[in-house]
A and B are shown apart, each in its own frame.
Chain A
């Protein structure tokens, strides 16, 4: 049984942004020595997400726009407010990004793929994205590969 965990840093450049990390996950699988098993990726942040969708620019825009509609950074005036809009003494600042935390919950923070014959298995249109909801920031994504290696490793 092989278990490999790597950390990658993703630099977002926009407030809301989808960043394709499929290649980095595939590389992690290739470097792991795992032949059959699974790989999963998870962001360590609560105002960012990881999701899987078709890798085309128009959908990237739709995903971000729809999440912003569902969990707006600032709710329409006269509707509702966020309890999170208050001073957080443990952070030394106000927490006025509840909408971004809610988007993170809606999208989720991880994804998982099978590994077969040393390769990540995914649908032909599927891409794995890191999604920034409160950028620009340097963010951390964990990628863990688990499974059986070559025949000699099956002990």
Chain B
């Protein structure tokens, strides 16, 4: 029986209590993320975590001021949600195009209590290795907070895949060896490239929130046994892999069951589901 885990990748788009307080969040769910599911009480999120054997979830906002002219979920929304439940770990979002991006991140961490930074190069329309984002990386490194980058495929119609190619993260990993980077979604379809980065750079981590066809069990088996052998994750990347679901694009229960079924040792599962996330989050405390 593995340790109750942390889901490193969730979007609180359907939390009804937040949508009732801030009706504009309904538009973000429908028109930005194209999530058509019904809004749900906070209790459903908790039950979903319980069913998956997950204790806490990282919840993510999105500031796309420059690319889309909007902040879809603000850092203040995330902080408000975290005050409603001790089971949430709030991350910030900052538009790297903004000149005051480093100050905004500092405020989000030091004033709002957020514990990481989420960046989405395709939605925020910047290349990860563009020097414009470097001041933000320096600040994240100095604050000791991890950056969770969207990487790989993007569903959002306005986004472009080129911004999420894993090789665009190599300069960041090399130039900021003390910055802890998580590439989301296994950077699918470029899993081999993402694994190469993680093998070469110990500050690069991968999250498992990948599902682009079939079902979680079959997709993750394809990506994590056929595209890259499971033994590579178990033996070489066991400290650099974290569980993520991408809820509500997919239920946490299904992604957790798929990872549980891959064939990892129990020790490795405990690292993927908990210890690696703890290590990423604790360094900044």
Contact = CB atoms under 8 A, between A and B. Distances in A.
A59 interface: no
Contacts of B249: 92-94
A96 B215 contact: yes
Contacts of B37: 91, 93
A96 B214 contact: yes
Interface string A10-24: 010111000000000
Say what secondary structure dominates the interface of chain A.
loop
Interface in B32-63: 33-38, 40-41, 43-44, 47-48, 51
A41 B16 CA distance: 25
Interface string A140-151: 000000000000
Interface stretch (A27-35, A60-68, A81-89, A118-126): A81-89
A88 to B, nearest CB: 8
B47 A93 contact: no
B211 interface: yes
Interface of B is mostly: loop
Interface residues on A, range: 20 to 34
B121 interface: no
Contacts of B215: 74, 85, 94, 96
Given A91-B37, A93-B248, A74 B43 contact: no
Interface in A30-54: none
B9 to A, nearest CB: 14
A137 interface: yes
Given A11-B44, A15-B253, A137-B40, A92 B155 contact: yes
Contacts of A137: 38, 40, 44
B43 A92 contact: no
A134 B253 CA distance: 10
Contacts of A87: 155, 212-213
Given A89-B34, A93-B249, A136-B44, 9 more contacts: A11-B47, A92-B35, A92-B249, A94-B215, A96-B216, A96-B254, A136-B47, A138-B38, A138-B44
Interface of A: 11, 13-15, 74, 81, 85-87, 89-94, 96, 134-138
